[in-house]
Structure 1
C-alpha cells in the first residue's frame, strides 16, 4: 500500500482558495490556512501535484511540528522525527529557516542546530561513524518557527513552481506564471471563448491560457527536486507524466491573442510560446490598445497593464485605460479582468468594476478589477 504523507502547497496571499481548488480537483481533501493548503495524500501525489498545480508556489512535505523555546528542545524535537524515511544515506540536506515572534529568534543558530540534529539521527539510523557524505540527491529542509511552534518541511519542488521552463526572456516587470494562471482561474473563461491580452509583455497570460485551454500540465517541461528521492519511486513519476500526456487535449482549438505596443515584447512572447511547445496556438500582434478590434462576441480581456513601476508617465497609463474603456463599452458581451496597482483605474476606464479583489503581484499590492459581460446567443 502506498505510504501517506502530509503535503503543503504554499500560496501567495489571497490565492489560497484558488490553490485549494486545484488540489481538490486532483482528488485530495484540504485544510486552508494563511499562505498554505495542507492535505494528506499518498507519496504518488508528490509527482502529480508538482506537475499539475498551476497557482501554488511550492509543494512541501511536512516532516513534523512541535513547540520549542530552547535550543535543546529544538534539537531533541528535530532528532525525534523520522528523517531516514525521506533522506537517503548519501542525501544532501541543507537547511534554510525563518523565525517570527519566537524566543528562538536567531535563524542561523536554528539552522545549525537542525542540521546537526538531522545528521545525528541519520548517522545513527544508517550506522555511520563519520559525518554524512551528502553526495546524493538534494533534500532541502526548512525550519519555520512561529510563536515558538516549530514546523519542519522538505521542499519537493526545487525551483519554484512558477518556473515552468518556457520563459527564455522577459520584460522589466514580468508577471509570475503562477499569478497569471491564478488570474485566469479567477474568471469563468473557457477555451472555446476568445481571449485577448492587450498588454501582453513577455506573453505570460496568453501562454498560461493556452496551457489551461489544452489541459497541458504546467510542470510538464521541467524537473523537480524529489525526482531524485529514493522513497518517491520512479514508477510514480512515470505514471504522473503518463497521466499528464493522456489528459492533454492538443486538438482543442483556441482563440487567444496577445498584443503589445513594443515589438520587442512580441518577439520575446513568440519565443517563449515556442519554448512552451505551443507553436502558433497564440496569435501575437504588435499594436496599441486603441487599435484593438473585437470581431466576435462573448470574449474575455485578461491583462496586467503597465503601472507606475514599469512606465513613469502616469498620463500615458491613464490614456491607455481610457482607450480600453471606450472600446469595451461598445462590446457589452465581453468580460474584462484587469490587475493593476494604478489606484485611479476605474476613473480613467470610465466604469466601476462589478467586483474587485485585492492581490499581491510579488510585493506590490494590486487590485483585480472584474467586469462581467452579458453573454449573447445563449452561451
Structure 2
C-alpha cells in the first residue's frame, strides 16, 4: 500500500488528544505539530479519518514540500504538480495561504501565483482551466510558507469537519463541535457516566456526547471533497461507512442532561436534538444553574458559560461567578466540573481552586478549560498534568 503524507489541523490545545484519536483510527507515523497532527496512511486511512475523527478540523493531503526563495519558486513548485490527474477542470477551486515568518511581501500575491500555476497546468494538459469559487468551492488548495519552506495541500474534507451537518440552530458565540468533542476527551468522560451542561446553549456538548455514547461516526451524515477526486474508491468508502454503521449502539436514553435559563435558547437545543434524532437520548429542562440540583450522586458537569463584553455585562457576571461557585460547592459534591471560559474574571471570582487550567482556542478566541473537583467540605487541590498552548495553526482554516 502506498503511504501518503497528511496533516490534520485542530483547535489549538487539542493536538495531544488528536494524536491519540488518529492512532486509534489506524494512522501511522503520527506526529504532533503546531496546530495539528501530521500522519501517514493510505486513502482508506484518509477516508476513515474524515469519517470518524471528532477532533480534527480538516484532513489535508500534502502534495508538495520544497524550499523556496521567491514567488517564482512557489509558482514553479505548484506548476509541476499533476493536477489534472487528481481532479477535473470542471470543478471549482479556492486557494488559501497562511505563513509564519515568511519573508515574501504579499501573501495575496502568493495566493494569486498558486492559483495561476494550477490553472496554467490544467490549461496545458486539458485545454481548460478551473474556475475560482471563494464561497463553496469543489476543491480547496492550502499553501503554507515558513521562513524557508513551501508546502502545498489538497483538502480532502471540503467543508470543515466540525460541520457535522446536524446542528441547524445556533445561538450567540457557539462552541465549535470539534472543540466540544476534544473537551469531552480531555475531561475523561465516558459513556454511561452522568453528564450535565447546565448552560447548554444550542446543545453542542450534548450533541457530541450523544454521538460518542452511541458510537456514531461524526462524518456519517455528510459528503467530502475526496469523493470528487479521480482516484476515489467508491466501494472502499461504502464499506467503511457500512462498518461504522454496524458499530453504532441502539438509540437508548443516556444519562446526559442539559438545561438553560432561557426558553428560546433551550428551544434551539431541543430542535437540534430532534433534527439529529436524539430527542429520546437526552433529558432537557429549563432551569437556573444557580438553583438546579445534581441529576446523579456523581458525574461530569461541562459547560461554556456566557462571558461579558460590555461594562454592564461584566458587572453582572462579577456578581454571578461567586454565586456559581457556591452552587457548585453546595449541590455538586462528588462531581467533576469543567468550565470553558474566555473571561479572565471567572477564575478569579468563582472562589474555587482549579486543579487544571488548560489553554484552548475556540476559533481565534483564547479560552481556558478550568477543572474543579467538587468534594464534600470544600475544595482540595488535585495535582494533574496541564497542557501547554501550542503556537498558531496556519492550517486550521476559516471554517468555510
TM value normalised by structure 1: 0.90
Cα deviation for residue 312 of structure 1 reads 4.5
Which residue in the other structure is 1:185 paired with? 185
Q: Deviations over 1:29-72 (max 9, x none)?
A: 31111012111111112221111111121111100111111233
Aligned partners of 2:309 and 2:245: how far apart in 1? 39
Aligned partners of 1:74 and 1:122: how far apart in 2? 17
Aligned partners of 1:210 and 1:373: how far apart in 2? 24
Which residue in the other structure is 2:9 paired with? 10
Moved more, 80-89 or 243-252: 80-89
Aligned partners of 1:373 and 1:219: how far apart in 2? 35
Which residue in the other structure is 2:286 paired with? 286
Q: Deviations over 1:284-308 (max 9, x none)?
A: 1111112211242221100001111
What does 1:159-178 correspond to in 2, within 5 Å?
159-178=159-178
Q: Deviations over 1:219-239 (max 9, x none)?
A: 122221222222121123212
Q: Deviations over 1:124-169 (max 9, x none)?
A: 5x4x3x333669x922212221213111001111111111112222
Conservation of the 8 A alpha-carbon contact between 1:206 and 1:257: yes
Cα deviation for residue 123 of structure 1 reads 4.5
Aligned partners of 1:92 and 1:228: how far apart in 2? 11
Aligned partners of 1:311 and 1:23: how far apart in 2? 43
Task: Provide closer, same or farther for how the CA distance between residues 311 and 245 of structure 1 changes in structure 2, counting only shifts above 3 A.
Answer: farther
Conservation of the 8 A alpha-carbon contact between 1:44 and 1:232: no
Conservation of the 8 A alpha-carbon contact between 1:63 and 1:83: no
Which residue in the other structure is 1:105 paired with? 105
Instruction: Give the SS at the match of 2:290.
Output: helix
Aligned partners of 1:37 and 1:176: how far apart in 2? 19
Cα deviation for residue 251 of structure 1 reads 4.7
Q: How many residues are treated as equivalent by the alignment?
A: 371
Task: Provide closer, same or farther for how the CA distance between residues 296 and 82 of structure 1 changes in structure 2, counting only shifts above 3 A.
Answer: same
Moved more, 316-325 or 348-357: 316-325
Between the two structures, name the one with larger relative contact order (CA 8 Å, sep ≥ 6): 2
Aligned partners of 2:211 and 2:149: how far apart in 1? 39
4+ residue stretches of structure 1 with deviation over 4 A?
A: none
What does 1:198-209 correspond to in 2, within 5 Å?
198-209=198-209
Which residue in the other structure is 1:131 paired with? 128
Aligned partners of 2:143 and 2:351: how far apart in 1? 49
Aligned partners of 1:205 and 1:152: how far apart in 2? 34
Task: Provide closer, same or farther for how the CA distance between residues 28 and 306 of structure 1 changes in structure 2, counting only shifts above 3 A.
Answer: same
Conservation of the 8 A alpha-carbon contact between 2:59 and 2:155: yes
Aligned partners of 2:291 and 2:311: how far apart in 1? 20
TM value normalised by structure 2: 0.86
Aligned partners of 1:96 and 1:348: how far apart in 2? 41
Which residue in the other structure is 1:235 paired with? 235
Moved more, 38-47 or 312-321: 312-321
Cα deviation for residue 95 of structure 1 reads 2.2
Aligned partners of 2:27 and 2:101: how far apart in 1? 32
The answer to whether structure 1 residue 335 and structure 2 residue 319 are counterparts is: no
What does 1:35-50 correspond to in 2, within 5 Å?
35-50=35-50
Instruction: Give the SS at the match of 1:58.
Output: coil
Conservation of the 8 A alpha-carbon contact between 1:311 and 1:317: no
Give RMSD over aligned pairs. Answer: 2.4
Conservation of the 8 A alpha-carbon contact between 1:63 and 1:82: no
Conservation of the 8 A alpha-carbon contact between 2:26 and 2:45: no
Aligned partners of 2:301 and 2:315: how far apart in 1? 22
Cα deviation for residue 201 of structure 1 reads 0.8
